[in-house]
Amino acid sequence: MDPAIEWGLSGTRRHLLRTAGLGIGAMAVQSLLARDGVLPRGADAAVTARPALLAPRAKHVIYLHMAGSPSQLELYEHKPELQRLHLQDCPESFLTGKRFAFIRGVPKILAGQFSFRQHGESGQWISELLPHFAGVVDRACVIRTMQTEQFNHAPSQLFLHTGSARLGNPSLGSWATWGLGSLNENLPGFVVLLSGGKTPDAGKSLWGSGFLPSVYQGVNCRASGDPVLYLSDPAGIDRTTRRRMLDTLAELNAAEFSRSGDPETQTRISQYELAYRMQTAVPEVMNLAGEPRHILEMYGAQAGYVSPAESADDPRVLYRGDDPTFANNCLLARRLVENGVRFVQLYDWGWDHHGSSPGESIDETLPIKCQASDRAIAALIRDLEQRGLLDETLIVWGGEFGRTPMMQNNVRTDFQKGFVGRDHHPYAFTMWLAGGGIRGGLAWGATDEFGYYPVEHPTTIRDLQATILHILGLDPQRFSYFYQGLQNRLIGPTDEARVLDGLLA
Amino acid sequence: MRLAVWILVLWVVCSWVSADQPVRFGRDVLPILSANCFSCHGPDESERKAGLRLDLESEAKRVHATGHPIAAGDAAASLVVQRINSGDPDLVMPPPDSHRTLTAEQKAILQRWIAEGAVWGRHWSFEPPMAGAGIPAGSAGIDWLVERFLSERGLALREPADRYTLIRRLSLDLTGLPPTMSEAEAFVSSDDPRAVERLVDTLLAREEFGEHWARMWLDLARYADTKGYEKDLGRTMWPWRDWLVKALNEDLPLDLLTEHLLAGDLLPHATDEQRLATAFHRNTMSNDEGGTDDEEFRSIAVKDRVDTTLQVWMGLTAGCAKCHSHKYDPLSITDYYGLYAIFNQTQDADRFDDAPTLELLNESQRVRRMALQGRQSELRSRLEESRESDAAGDDQGWRTLMLQRAESQGGAKLQSQADGSIVVSGSRPAEDVYTLTLGLERGSLAALRLQAVAGAGAGVEGVGRNPADPNFVLSELEVELLVGGQWQRLELVRPRADFEQVNWPITGALDGDFKTGWAVSPRQREPHAAVFELSEPLQLSEPSELRLVMRQNYGNSLTFRRFRWSVHGGPAAGLQPLQSSEKTRGLQAELTAVEQELSGLVSGVARVPVLQALAADRQRETRVHRRGNFLDPGDQVSPALPGELRFGFEAGESPTRLDAARWLMSAQNPLTPRVWANRIWARLWGQGLVETEEDFGALGALPVNPELLDFLAVQYRQDGWSLKRLLKVLVLSRVYAQSSDVTAQLQQQDPRNVLVSRGARYRLSAEVLRDQMLSVSGRLSLKRGGPPVMPPQPDGLWRSTYNGQKWVNAEGEDRYRRGLYTYLKRTTPHPMGTTFDGGSGEVCQIRRIRTNTPLQALVVLNDPASLECAGGLAKWMSEQSERRVERGLQRALIRPVLPSEVAALERLQRDVQQVFAEHPEQSVALLSGARVERPESLSESEFAGFIVVASTILNLDEFLSRR
């Protein structure tokens, strides 16, 4: 084929995509073109390489990431054997050939610090720290055997959310919005909400669009200041003035288009109008003031609250169990999903409990973090359910890895209150899924008596990624984007990832 | 619409089938083979099926046991043809589970090619670029090639853009700044036939030229002002950026520039400037996250250097060859690690201090430092002598303990010396615990003394093992005595040291808390001593042993380098750690003063991370990282250039970075000139002749106009790799000067202007947008170089973990500097840059994909920086004596404006003025946000109306575009 003419063809396609904006319309055009077999070439080649959609089991994702990684042994993994061996030397077999972030020498076994009880019809063991989650445990599938390849925060978070421990790859939310589009043309398709006072260790790259077009990057909606950067009109410009400005702009831009004929000019006119609509739509959805009191109470949320921890140099010293920031974000997640946002990503920082100080310990900090999040998470599940949204929304909960059955020993070798900690543990940890497409009340996989290794159904991050895509109706094997000589996929270049059929409803 | 697409497809297909050109391997066949066959029948040996390679002519045309893959001239006998046409799902190629299918046209091409003799060739970009015969030189050659290309397609060059458009286009393209309206008027009215050329020469000579073109390089170099990853702390890289601007303004030819960037330190008699240039490859990130393995992130940085080098110069993607041989391009995993071995020989190792760094001193600082260093070494040796003579007196009554056994928890080597001191060497862990067993004679025992010995050794001058900070922290000391075969803990009391670092007293070593301890900064380069008394003096009737545990848990290798233990029989009360004579104290004071001046001299001086080769005897051994995993080493590899990409360049036995630079720029290399010519073209036209600027390999896009690309590649190289000369040739062409206005017919025939059937029109980059806005507002500062600045950004964006650095909105002229100078934090770039497709500096960015989003509208409408620019422009308009709105619009658009345009804006002004008159508090708020004072001649509501008009002008699509 004459490459020059082929170029023209791709241009036609691209133009269609742009004028269709970010809505579902754009995606319909893309899949249409894919079916029509227009040949791919260049930066957006993969647009046409898109496979046919599978039947989706969920339309939305709410991903609750506990940055720093909570201890599964205090929350979901009931291990009486650790009680028996408390403060004895760790068996040699657990240490040889292993790399730890901080553990040195031979550490001691650390018993679970909180008590467990069985809950729900499924009789799952849940810690006393999660009384509210215990009440909805039959809606969730708890995966006890997650494994990851990275044992430091930033690389591990990147691996989990972008499929690569290195920078530059699109995040799960970008993949999903690129593949499926947004369901509300006045709101971004991928929204990120932060709490805990710090950005997660790997920073903004966790919601970056990598090599996908930048319109698919996550938009961080904030609790203080403009919910989206530069969303408010400058002081002194009211809506009438802004409308008049945009009318004049549209008039002059239309005249420019009639001279220059550049379709980008038309796109710009429509993007200014979309911005104008977002200025109303985003604050509306981000404002909790209209929520009834019983809903606010159900989550433990508080409209308009801005925590001092969010601007502190060391927020950990300001953590409180009744801080409503995370609860507000859970309630916002429901509102966003209700309004058609495809992917809502929450990051809550402050779960890295090494025990080097009372602000980062299992015995003192973990209960506070649980108190500030447990009620809201259970409320989110119930609230989505009562609105009929739980079936079409996948909820994911977890950290980037787990924590060791051994006590961390680099700061203190003795057991001391306020200094109880565990190191990073990539070999077995807990995550849970609930909602769209998930078999509730299931405990997936089992670990050995120390919780050190899986003994049944080891589950990799790749498996999780494949399963999430599958639930959204995207074939993880074929869902790819051509960039730098490779068909890049979320699940990486190799074919190890398996969809976890066993936990699908 | 769907129908329209189909019609296009059919038209394209028919036009191809009816073409009766012979099939060309590089253009027609190889892309089909690459995309559909090579993943199983290509260079990657681990994935190869049936032992068949279709990427090598000899293998593809050989008769195999299973048949003859390609029988030249006989399509029907060729296995390839049989298999692609097979109806049997078990036989058909590509196999169904590959999800690849060949179209009928593709099958036809392969059959025709084999029938026509299966003439082989290389991938197009690996063949040498040919200038073509009979093409005029310079700009005329570009015009000739494009006109011929267009006429073959029934098109012609568009008429030239008017002079106003041309001067704005040239100014923005060459300097990143717009012209002023008076410059434009002068240019338009000039009757000098060489006015355009003179203008181009003037623009190329401006210092703003280097600033603008440096931005392209900064993207390639993944430049940023922080280190990246979790903590993302600041790092001094800006002197390299300033060096780059200077090099571009001096038009350092690309071949020399390349040598400087990759291997300036290896040039004979390398100057500081040449060494500074190598910071190019120190823009890789460092990970300061606690508990990370430095070697892991060092190896990631080295890989990044290999990848970036191949991308920037050769347009090849090497990402996949880290784990397995490239499936499409001739780069095997061994080739990759051969290149890795070349870049693996520098001293940097993901250290916190980013060592090695270059201190940038001016001439007088350099002279003074030399004098001080001379004095320092003289004082040091005199001090050492004086201390030795003091020590003789000090040692009265002290008995040095001899080492019997020693153990280091971190695996260091502890060795006893003749003078009783213990030297630590070998592995250097961050933390360590020394456990010593020392022989003890019979007699009385009342006190212990620990002497930390200073002095040079193992590259360290000081008492600790970390060369960057030779301090120690004795976190805890435990002493036990062997009594009747049992170890008994001895209680130590009244510890005293000759010197204690603030907050690190000697008592901290005895308090049971591992977080406290004894340290000696800032005097870590002097000897120190401490005395510990036994709570109860002992009388030993038999020789025994002491066991000492010295915990050093601070981290960062703040551990003892050389020390000595001795004991005293008492009485302990008067014993001092260290006695210094008056002479010693005097020498010490003088040395301290000299060292303070030295450190003051360099403390304000920038230290820039640079490349520095390891000594010949310390070269790292390189092994293949299996599946890209640095913990899974495979075969050893030597430094080598990739075999099939050497293009005949000979580098000798063990090539260095300098050899690599010369290989990239060698006359035989077909890729570098094409990649660079395409890149420069793309910066002017908004897209490359090869759209995939980052991939000239088998899976990249084909050049739209290959003859033009080759012409430019040859031109660039033959013209001595001068960027300014290449740009001049490009911008003086009639192709460049075409009008960018498009007719409906042209839009249909060449919708994206890939044929170059008109001038380019595209939205400006983040930096040029900012600079243009500031320039039109009259607020732009042209202050050059220096540390990055912090123009306003919303609060609360910087919140990296374990990083206390703050964004402080700049005041004064630093608020209004060019976008080039905005602080770039990798994890949190300035939002304007990100919104307008700027990168984060995390990895090499070959091109920015332009987007058109609502978030961009919000930035230009609402960002306080935009509003301040509107304020500046409003102020300027209000100061005009007449036709204020008209002149304001002209100032922004650089052209005479139409009455209808002025009327629309004046209507807007009147309408909003009324709103402001009814709401005076809104005028006040707007003026304050725009940071502008009302001129006396205008009311507040009138002036607020000007600000709204100015803001509207700054949001015009025409203003945001280069056209």
Tell me, what's the pLDDT at B579?
67
Answer whether residue B280 is part of any domain: yes
d(CA B743, CA B746): 5
Backbone angles phi, psi at B497, to 5 degrees: -125, 155
Q: With helix as H, strand as E and coil as C, how does A261-272 read?
A: CCHHHHHHHHHH
Answer whether residue B617 is part of any domain: yes
Residues B351 and B420 in one domain: no
Report the residue of A38, A47, A178, A204 to disrupt the B interface, i.e. the one with the largest count of B CBs within 10 Å: A204
Residues of B in contact with A485 (CB under 8 A): 317, 319-320, 326, 328-329, 695, 697-700
Answer whether residue B902 is part of any domain: yes
Tell me, rounded to whole angstroms, the distance of Cα B571 from its chain centroid: 63
Alpha carbon of B670: minimum distance to chain A alpha carbons (Å): 19
Backbone angles phi, psi at A207, to 5 degrees: -120, 20
Residues B417 and B543 in one domain: yes
Backbone angles phi, psi at A255, to 5 degrees: -65, -40
Residues B393 and B314 in one domain: no
Q: Given CB atoms, is B399 within the 8 Å cutoff of chain A?
A: no
Q: Contact B5/A100, CB-based, under 8 Å?
A: no
A116 - beta bridge partners? Answer: A127
d(CA B483, CA B539): 12
**Residue owning tokens 């400006």:** B764
Which residue, among A489, A488, A491, has the nearest Cα to A462 in the 3D structure?
A491
Answer whether residue B616 is part of any domain: yes
Q: 3-class SS at A250?
A: helix
**A7: nearest CB among B704, B741, B861:** B704
Find out whether A94 and A110 touch, Cβ atoms under 8 Å: no
Tell me, what's the pLDDT at A484?
60
* Number of neighbouring beta carbons within 10 Å of residue B808: 8
Q: Could you give the ipTM of this predicted complex?
A: 0.76
Tell me the pairing of strands A343-349 and A393-398: unpaired
Which fold does the domain A60-224+306-476 belong to in CATH? Alkaline Phosphatase, subunit A (3.40.720)
**B956: nearest CB among A29, A235, A253:** A253
What is the sign, positive or negative, of the torsion defined by CA atoms of B779, B783, B784, B790?
negative
Q: Given CB atoms, is A12 within the 8 Å cutoff of chain B?
A: yes
d(CA B307, CA B326): 13
Q: Which residues of chain B have pLDDT under 70?
A: 1-21, 319-320, 327-328, 392-394, 455-460, 579, 801
Answer whether residue B759 is part of any domain: no
**B901: nearest CB among A15, A51, A252:** A252
Which residue, among A275, A353, A346, has the nearest Cα to A319 in the 3D structure?
A353
Q: Contact A205/B103, CB-based, under 8 Å?
A: no
What DSSP character marks residue A323? -
Tell me, what's the pLDDT at A312?
78
B-proximal residues of A, 21-60, CB under 8 Å: 22, 29, 32-33, 36-38, 41-43, 51
Answer whether residue B63 is part of any domain: yes
The domain boundary residue, chosen from B71, B106, B121 = B121
Q: How many domains does chain B have?
A: 4
Residues of B in contact with A244 (CB under 8 A): 908, 911-912, 948
Find the residue in A nearest to B953 (Cα).
Answer: A249
d(CA A278, CA A21): 14
* Number of neighbouring beta carbons within 10 Å of residue B20: 5
Strands (E), B464-598: 473-474, 476-483, 486-490, 492-497, 518-519, 528-540, 544-552, 562-568
Q: Contact B751/A15, CB-based, under 8 Å?
A: yes
* Number of neighbouring beta carbons within 10 Å of residue B737: 22
d(CA A352, CA A402): 10
pLDDT digits (tens, 9 = 90+) for B537-581: 999 888 999 999 999 999 889 999 999 999 999 888 888 887 678
Answer whether residue B195 is part of any domain: no
B-proximal residues of A, 347-406, CB under 8 Å: 349
Residues B300 and B407 in one domain: no
Model-level pTM? 0.74
Tell me, what's the pLDDT at B651?
85
Q: Which residue range forms the structural domain that includes residue B49?
A: 23-121
CB pairs under 8 A between A and B: 318
What DSSP character marks residue B917? H
Tell me, what's the pLDDT at B26?
79
Tell me, what's the pLDDT at B747?
84
Q: Contact B292/A152, CB-based, under 8 Å?
A: yes
Residues B268 and B395 in one domain: no
The domain boundary residue, chosen from B628, B651, B669 = B669
Residues B353 and B405 in one domain: no
Q: Contact B691/A42, CB-based, under 8 Å?
A: yes
Alpha carbon of A242: minimum distance to chain B alpha carbons (Å): 9
Strands (E), B328-430: 357-359, 398-400, 403-408, 412-416, 422-426
Find out whether B42 and B48 touch, Cβ atoms under 8 Å: yes
Residues of A in contact with B705 (CB under 8 A): 4
d(CA A465, CA A191): 19
Q: Given CB atoms, is A14 within the 8 Å cutoff of chain B?
A: yes
Q: Given CB atoms, is B942 within the 8 Å cutoff of chain A?
A: no
Residues B489 and B618 in one domain: no
Residues B384 and B295 in one domain: no
Q: Given CB atoms, is A252 within the 8 Å cutoff of chain B?
A: yes
The answer to whether the bond into A170 is cis (omega within 30° of 0) is: no
Q: Contact B849/A226, CB-based, under 8 Å?
A: no
Find out whether A264 and A256 touch, Cβ atoms under 8 Å: no
Q: Please list, in sequence order, all residues whose beta carbon lies within 8 angstroms of the beta carbon of residue B936, skipping any fewer than 6 positions away.
A: none
Find the residue in B nearest to A154 (Cα).
Answer: B230
Tell me, rounded to whole angstroms, the distance of Cα A31 from its chain centroid: 26
Residues B427 and B560 in one domain: yes
d(CA A39, CA A57): 30
And the tokens for B413?
């080597």
d(CA B672, CA B650): 17
Backbone angles phi, psi at B952, to 5 degrees: -65, -40
**Residue owning tokens 């957006």:** A44
And the tokens for B479?
């002493």
d(CA A126, CA B935): 70
And the tokens for B307?
């990848």
Tell me, what's the pLDDT at A214?
67
Q: Please list, in sequence order, all residues whose beta carbon lies within 8 angstroms of the beta carbon of residue B597, skipping any fewer than 6 positions away.
A: B372
Strands (E), B569-639: 607-609, 622-625, 633-637
Q: Given CB atoms, is A308 within the 8 Å cutoff of chain B?
A: no
Q: Given CB atoms, is B39 within the 8 Å cutoff of chain A?
A: no
Per-residue pLDDT of chain A (505 residues; tens, 9 = 90+): 343 434 333 333 333 333 333 332 333 333 333 322 222 222 232 232 234 378 889 999 999 999 999 999 999 999 999 999 999 988 888 777 777 777 777 788 999 999 999 999 999 999 999 999 999 999 999 999 999 988 888 889 999 999 988 777 899 999 999 898 878 878 888 999 999 988 888 887 899 888 887 678 888 888 777 888 899 999 999 999 999 999 999 999 999 999 999 888 988 998 899 899 999 999 999 999 999 999 999 999 999 898 888 877 788 888 999 999 999 999 999 999 999 999 999 999 999 998 877 788 999 999 999 999 999 999 999 999 999 999 999 999 999 999 999 998 655 667 888 889 999 999 999 999 999 989 999 999 999 999 999 999 999 999 999 999 999 999 999 898 877 656 889 999 888 899 999 999 8
**B922: nearest CB among A226, A236, A269:** A236
Q: Contact A349/B801, CB-based, under 8 Å?
A: yes
d(CA A325, CA A264): 41
Find out whether A69 and A351 touch, Cβ atoms under 8 Å: yes
Tell which phi-psi region holds residue B401, choosing left (phi > 0), alpha (psi between -120 and 50) or beta. Answer: beta
Q: At what angle do helices B723-731 and B706-718 cross, to 10 degrees?
A: 140
Residues B64 and B113 in one domain: yes
Q: What is the CA radius of gyration of chain A?
A: 24
Residues B354 and B382 in one domain: no
Q: Contact B801/A199, CB-based, under 8 Å?
A: yes
Tell me, what's the pLDDT at A409?
66
Half-sphere exposure of B663 (CA within 13 A, CB side): 26
Domain extents in chain A:
60-224+306-476
d(CA A44, CA A178): 11
Residues of B in contact with A47 (CB under 8 A): none
What are the CA-CA distances from residue B893 to residues B183, B740, B947, B950, B959 (Å)?
A: 13, 15, 17, 12, 6
Which residue, among B236, B247, B168, has the nearest Cα to B211 in the 3D structure?
B247
What are the CA-CA distances from residue B317 to residues A45, A47, A169, A378, B721 (Å)?
A: 17, 21, 15, 47, 24
Tell which phi-psi region holds residue B771, choosing left (phi > 0), alpha (psi between -120 and 50) or beta. Answer: alpha
Residue B196: its H or E element: helix B195-205
Answer whether residue B592 is part of any domain: no
d(CA A503, CA A439): 5
Angle at alpha carbon of residue B878, lines to B877 and B883, rounded to 5°: 65
The domain boundary residue, chosen from B637, B669, B701 = B669
Helix-, strand-, coil-residue percentages of chain B, each rounded to 5:
45, 15, 45
